[in-house]
Structure formats: structure tokens, C-alpha cells
Amino acid sequence: PGEKGSPLIHPSPLQFSIQLADVQNANDHFNAVLKERLSMPPCQSIEERFDGYSRWNGDWIGPETKLDVGKIRTGWGFLPSREMGCKIETFSKEDLLSIPEKKSIYVIGTSRERGVFLSLVDMLLEPKEKEHFGDSVVGQCWGRAVVEKGNMKVSYQDFRANSFEQPDDLGAIQCHNDKVVRGGLQSNGSMLGNATAFWNELFEDETMWPDVIYLLSGHKTNDFNFEAHTLSFAQNIPPSWRGTLIIGDYEFNAKRAGLDRNRQGYQDALIKMLDVISDPRVRWLDGEGISTEQRMYAERGEEQVSLSQHFHHLCEENNLYIPSGERMSSDVMRVCSNITEIVAQLLVGHALGPKDAFHKAVSQYPAKDKPDMTLTVCHDCPKELLPFHITPHPVLTCTTGKFHPRTKEEMDNVVVSKDSPPQKCPCLSQSVDYSFSSQSDVIHVRECKSAY
């Protein structure tokens, strides 16, 4: 974050001779920009058609700068640009634990989006509750995880949208390494079919509808089909749902952030897809824009930027700056990432509404109606990443109290298929079609070209 007192994100290696008048002019300009940006309406208050998130741009302000609005727990703050047209309000743990009515946020995606889920959970917990958060069963979950405390429920579903089939080819067999991920005799069947069944599950019981959904689409992957892989989900939202759907894509990626030379074309594509969806409840997050900055603070740090798939990582003891210039204990934060935390705050804002109105509602909430603050954790997390799968209506194992290290029983009690073990790939002799990296392995993909 630069030397103490510097608001710069990436300190320049060049040295300049700066006159005192130049410094004063710069400060005056900064204060004017700050005042203008902070006068914009809260992002979650814009109810009409909104594409500001699809043109993500703004300024990250360092911990030592006196910023009244928009600071996250590390002391950093994000000021959206005039083009975005709104400000991101941030909420404290005390805010989240004082919610006067039930609220639910659902994060649906891969391990990169899981970082947003983990930041949300981290924001809810007391230090003793999250001592073993990182090595708990939900710390690295490739299935379903649900965490509830007070009136806030945060859920995650692993959702590999880049493995969805085309609608006219649902029987095709695809293998990830030596296991079948879709098609064939695998009881998991169609990835797209199971994804659709899961989506329908979300809206079965109106009393359980989530307030905010962050959904990964397959945009910016090889086989992306907008109509089948994204539009079909957006069009299947009940008309009476009053929540917010924020769609993301595979440009939300610390490793390849900002490397696409056609940024304008990417943004235009997001706007075009929003035009087709044509639903004021839906936004699309510019993954490329939000990923470009802060790359040097991603999972592997500034010396291994190109190896950082994720923005988040477990905090090391005393590695975080706070505005005073001192360092923060990892008791305060267990999941470190400015990016996943600012997205988490965005989701919270849409769930709770504008901050002033929320605080007014909290002040009128009778103390006798305060909810139980017992931490409840439910999960269906397989012990292996492969084969990718989506299980509608999983059987969840639930515990109460603080997080504990993942146990052997928690690992062994989860099976990907209720009917049969994963099917071995029938076309291993076939050459690999393409490969990609995951959090724990390199995945070699084979599209079986013969009948098996």
C-alpha cells in the first residue's frame, strides 16, 4: 500500500520534485472529486434498468486517506467513477448482526466466486468462531454450503458454467481427467439439466427465496451459449420476486485481469446481453473492470501475479494495514481480499437497502425480537473436486457453534452420486481436447468422440 500517508495504490518508482503549491492543488482536486463521488446515490437504491456495474471503473483509495464512505475492513475504499453513477455503501459486522428481518444471499460459481462467499461469512463471525474457518469443511467446498447467524443467511453452490452442454447435445460425454463429468451412464446426467433443476429449487418455496443472487455465467469461455446458459435462467425468475440478480463471468479472474485488449468490445457485449434480458432486477458485473486493479494483492502476492487465479487467500498473522498505520491481527479478518470483500459489500447493500434507511429500521426494531445468534453451518461438500457436479436438493449435514477443522467423517459421508460412484472416462486413449487449471489440479478435458 505504499509508504505511510500515501493514497497511491501502486507507488511510482520515479522520483519527482514537487512544489508545495502543486501538493495543495492536488489535494484540492482530490477533495473535490471525493465530494462529487460521495454525493452519488447508493448503488442499491437505483431500481430502474441499470448497467453501471457493466462499466466498472473508479479509484481505489489507500488506508491512510480519510474516506468517510466506502471503506472495507482493510481500510481501503473504492470510489466508483462518474460513469458508474453510484457509490458503494459498506456495512459492518454489527450491521449484519442487527438485521431486523430474515435476509439471504446466494453465491453461485467456481472457487473464484467462492471467495466472495467466504468474505461474506468472515464479515459475520466473531474471532473465536472463525479460528478454524480456513480448514473447515466449507473453507474449500465443491458442493453446497450454507452459513446462518442472526437474520443473515449466506449460501454457496459450486457451479461450473464452462462445462454446460449445448441444448441439442445433452447426451455427449465429457471427461475431466479420468472421470466422466457429464453424459454417459453417469447418474449426475446433464450438467445443464442439473443446473436448471438447482435454479428451480431456489424458487420453489417463496418463504425461502434469496434476496440477492450472484450467478456465474459461462461468458468468456469456449462453449458459451447465451440463450441456453444465461438467458434461460434470467427468464425463469418468478415475476413476483423482488430481489436482485447480479451476473458475473469468467473475466472475474486475478490471473488474466486486464489482459484483454478489446475492453470496449467486452463491455459492449455485457450491455447487449442486458438489453436482451431486459429486466430491471438484473445487473451484470464487469469482471474485467473490477479485476484489473489490486492484482498485486491477489492470492499469490505481487511477485507471482500471473499465478493468482483467486483474489482471496487466508490472512497471515499481522499482515493487514489499518488506517492508523498499525497492523491488524488475523483475528479481525481470516479471508484477505479487497476485491472479494467489495463485491460482498455490494451484495449486502442490495440485500439490506440504502444504509440510512436500514439504520432507521434497526433503530425501530424491538430488542425483545432480536434473533438467536447461534452460528449454524450446513454443507454437502465432496472430498474431491472431480468430477464437477451440481446436486439439486442435496442432503445437508448441519452443525452449530464455531467452525472446526474438517473431519474424516465429514469427508467420507459425502458422495457425488446417490446411486453410483463416478464413472471412469471411456475415452482415455483419446487425445486431450483442452486443459485448464483449477485450485487443486490441472484439468484435462476430453470430449468423447465415439459412442460408448
Which amino acid type is present at position 388? F
pLDDT at residue 11, rounded to an integer: 42
Contacts of 221 by beta carbon, 8 Å cutoff, 6+ apart: 161, 162, 250
pLDDT of residue 261: 73
| 325, 97 contact by CB (below 8 A) | no
How far the first Cα of the chain sits from its last, in Å, is 56
User: pLDDT, tens digit, for every residue of 282-299?
Assistant: 999 999 999 887 766 777
- Can you tell me the distance from the alpha carbon of 46 to that of 422, in angstroms, rounded to the nearest whole number? 46
Nearest in space to 244 (alpha carbons), one of 274, 215, 271: 215
d(CA 179, CA 228): 25
Burial tier of 408 (Cβ tally within 10 Å: 0-12, 13-18, 19+): exposed
Q: How many other β-carbons are positioned within 10 Å of the β-carbon of residue 150?
A: 18
For residue 310, the model assigns a pLDDT of 81
Q: Regarding beta strands 144-149 and 152-158, do their DSSP bridges make them parallel or antiparallel, or are they unpaired? A: antiparallel
* pLDDT at 422 (0 to 100): 64
pLDDT value at residue 2 = 39
Backbone angles phi, psi at 444, to 5 degrees: -100, 120
Mean pLDDT score of the chain, rounded to an integer? 82
Q: What confidence score (pLDDT) does residue 269 get?
A: 96
273-300: buried (b, 16+ CB within 10 Å) or exposed (e) per residue? Answer: bbeebeeebbbbbbbbbbbbbbbebbbb
State the pLDDT at residue 14: 41
pLDDT score at 412: 62
pTM higher than 0.85, yes or no?
no
- In the beta sheet, which residues pair with residue 379? 145, 397
Name the residue type at position 129: E
Q: Is 423 buried (19+), middle (13-18) or exposed (0-12) by CB count in 10 A?
A: buried
Contacts of 142 (CB under 8 A, 6+ apart): 158, 381, 382, 384, 385, 388
Enter the C-alpha cell of residue 148.
446462518
* 8 Å CB contact between 417 and 186: yes
Q: Which residues pair with 445 in a beta bridge?
A: 176, 434
Contact 416, 423 (CB under 8 A): no
Given a cut of 50, the residues of the chain with pLDDT beneath it are: 1-18, 185-187, 317-326, 330, 415-420
What's the pLDDT score for residue 257?
67
pLDDT reported for residue 277: 97
- Give me 250's grid cell: 469468467
**Cβ contact 97:124 at 8 Å:** yes
Cβ-based neighbours of 352, under 8 Å, separated by 6 or more: 44, 91, 95, 99, 103, 358
* Cα–Cα dist 431/441, whole Å: 19
> How far is it, in rounded angstroms, from Cα 7 to Cα 29?
14
Of the candidates 197, 191, 196, 199, the residue with the CA atom closest to the CA atom of residue 166: 191
How much is the pLDDT for 302?
A: 61
Contacts of 63 (CB under 8 A, 6+ apart): 1, 74, 75, 76, 321, 322, 323, 325
Rounded to an integer, what distance in angstroms lies between the CA atom of residue 107 and that of residue 226?
Answer: 20
